Amino acid sequence: MAQRAHLKAGFRRALLAELRQIGARPGLMFMLAPFPLLLFALLAAVFQLGLPRDLPIAVVDQDRSTLSRQMVRIVDATPEVAVAHEASSLSEGRQLLLSGEAYAVVLIPARTERDVLAGRRPEVVLFYNNQYMTPGSLVARSVGGALGTVAAGISIEARVARGADVESATQAVTPVPVRQSALFNPSLEYVQFLLAAVMPTVLQIFIGASAALSFSRDRQGVAGLGRSLRLGGTLMRTATGKLAPYTLTYLLVLWGADALLFGPMGARFGGNLAFHVAYGLVFVLASQMLGAAAALIARDTVSALAAIGVITGPAFGFTGITFPRLSMNGFSTVWADLLPVTHYLELRTDNILRGASFDISLPAFVSLATLALAYGGVTLLLLWRHGRPRPAIAVEAGR
């Protein structure tokens, strides 16, 4: 200690003090890099397959005809779906839905084939579990498509039987085909979509919480924030010295996760790398300032962490990645704007997926920087207020 005592107050001294604090706490060290990377690995494993395959469905075939068997075969052949159960009745199919063993039930009523041949337009019904919306709608789309193919085949045969040639009969089946393509993320990969958005949202919790812990600890310690300020000399140097180790580590985690995403996991990077680095840095800073400000406003460490939990924990719903922002209520829109990750994800989408030019991204970048400055301003102000030497603490100066 005596050796370090001559080190002048300033950024380096605040930084070294913080590093010693981190070094003394293995739990904190774990939460800096290994824990977020572990969570990334976990989430990557969850979405590893990109698109679900062979989701189980049930079939109630009451017709048992050539046509009904053909329908079952074609449905089973779609990659997303597998006919896992042959139920004998609709109530048995319902039980499979309720126990979660099937996502959908296809009902082929008796006499379907006969009615088709007689031109009576029988009805095949697809019941699907829309409570599990992601798999449910995926199953509905692929099974609906497969049954549509069967119907189209019959329609073509009918036209050919009436003397049309195969070419025009085929065209007549879908008179207005829609050639839909996704402008961005054309492969509709969940890895790009969810993992790339979930990871920064989880990191925002880590970044905010670590900054909150760092400031709370000093504030609740016996020496209070006064000591931290004496180490740093000025407000600015204290704050930057204290936060620098976390800024650096989380930036490395953020970019490390990106390196994995765009490297081995094969996501496409279509944007400007320098800009990506820039808004990544501002995102980390803004999240840190949010955490620091919370720590200086809250009464104790647990409340500070709880506040960060409340702000950053439910953030994902507000970012608009799953349920779009354009359909949110006023409160959610405003709240989302106050979260650094909302703007970060928008910038990411614009830059990486859309390759948008800088002027498109400017408003989001300005919003993100404004948040960093605003939360930073609150932090510095409160740091000044709480760190002022007070008569009560003056005794401790003679230590």
Partner 1 sequence: MIAAFFHEIVIAIMAIWADKGARSTMLGATLFFSVFFPQPYLSEVVRDMPVAIIDQDGSTLSRELIRRIDAADAVAVARYAPDMPSARALFLKREVYGIVVVPPKFEHDLLAGRAAPIAAFSDGGYFLLNSVMSSALSNATRSLGAEVQVGRLTASGTDMASAMAIVEPLRVTTVPLFNPTGGYASFVLPAVFVLILQQTLLMGIGNLKAGRRSLGAFSTLADAIVYVGLYSLWAGVVLVLLPWVYRLPRIGDVAVMYAVVVPFLCAVTAMGIAVARLIPTKEGVIFFLVVLGMPLFFLSGVSWPAEAMPRLLHAVAFIIPSTTAVPALVRVNQMGADVRSVETTILIQLGLCLAYSTLAVAVERVKQKRLA
Q: Which of residues 114-173 bind partner 1 (CB under 8 A)?
A: 116, 119-137, 140, 144, 147-148, 150-151, 154-155, 158-159, 162, 168, 171-172
- 27 belongs to the binding site for partner 1 (CB under 8 A): yes
The Cα–Cα gap between 69 and 67 comes to: 5
In the range 54-83, which residues lie near partner 1 by CB under 8 A? 54-56
Determine the interface stretch with partner 1 among 16-24, 176-184, 236-244, 279-287 (rule: CB under 8 A).
Answer: 176-184
- Separation of first and last alpha carbons in the chain: 15
Contacts (Cβ under 8 Å, ≥6 apart) of 5: none
- By CB under 8 A, name the one of 182, 222, 392, 395 that touches partner 1: 182
Q: Which of residues 303-322 bind partner 1 (CB under 8 A)?
A: 303, 305-306, 308-310, 312-314, 316-318, 320-322
DSSP per residue over 221-271, as a string?
STTHHHHHHHHHSSHHHHHHHHHHHHHHHHHHHHHHHHHHHHTTT-----S
* In contact, 61 and 86? CB cutoff 8 Å: yes
| Length of the chain in terms of residues written | 399
- Near partner 1 in 232-271, by CB under 8 A: none
CB of 314 to partner 1, least distance (A): 5
Q: What is the nearest approach in angstroms of partner 1 to the Cβ of residue 297?
A: 15
Buried b (16+ CB within 10 A) or exposed e, 232-265: bbeeebbbebbbbbbbebbbebbeebbebbeeeb
Coil, helix or strand at residue 299 = coil
Nearer to partner 1 among residue 10 and residue 144 (C-beta): 144
Decide if residue 176 touches partner 1 (CB under 8 A).
yes
Tokens, residue 264: 């081995």
In the chain, the amino acid numbered 99 is S
**Count of residues interacting with partner 1 (CB under 8 A):** 117
386 contact partners, CB below 8 Å, separation of at least 6: 219, 224, 225, 296
- According to CB under 8 A, which residues from 90 to 109 bind partner 1? 95, 97-100, 103
d(Cα 266, Cα 216) in Å, to the nearest integer?
41
The residue type of 94 is R
Nearer to partner 1, 54 or 86 (CB): 54
Residue nearer to partner 1 on the CB measure, 25 or 385: 25
CA distance 103 to 124: 17
The 10 Å CB-count burial string (b at 16+, else e) for 278-296 is ebbebbbbbbbbbbbbbbb
Quick one: 105 or 229, whose CB is closer to partner 1?
Answer: 105
Strands 55-61 and 81-86: parallel
Residue with smaller CB distance to partner 1, 154 or 393: 154
Rounded CA separation 88/76 (Å): 18
**CB closer to partner 1, 53 vs 385:** 53
Nearer to partner 1, 167 or 274 (CB): 167
* For partner 1, the closer CB: 212 or 380: 212
What is the identity of the amino acid at 296? L
Q: Establish if 190 lies at the interface with partner 1 (CB under 8 A).
A: yes
The one segment of 6-14, 174-182, 247-255, 265-273 that binds partner 1 by CB under 8 A:
174-182
What's the min distance (Å) between Cβ of 318 and partner 1?
5
Print the binding letters for residues 346-385 with partner 1: x by CB under 8 A, - otherwise: ---xx--xx-x---x-------------------------
Binding segment toward partner 1, per CB under 8 A, in 44-52, 221-229, 241-249, 283-291: 44-52
Q: DSSP string spanning 18-32?
A: HHHHHHT-HHHHHHH
Chosen residue from 335, 338, 374, 393 binding partner 1 by CB under 8 A: 335
Tell me how far, at minimum, the Cβ of 232 lies from partner 1, in Å. Answer: 24
Q: Which two tokens stand for residue 127?
A: 């019941």
* Under 8 Å between Cβ of 279 and 352: no
Q: In the range 193-222, which residues lie near partner 1 by CB under 8 A?
A: 193-194, 198, 201-202, 205-206, 209, 213
Shortest Å distance, C-beta 115 to partner 1: 9
**DSSP tag of 8:** P
- Residue from 331, 391, 395, 398 that binds partner 1 (CB under 8 A)? 331
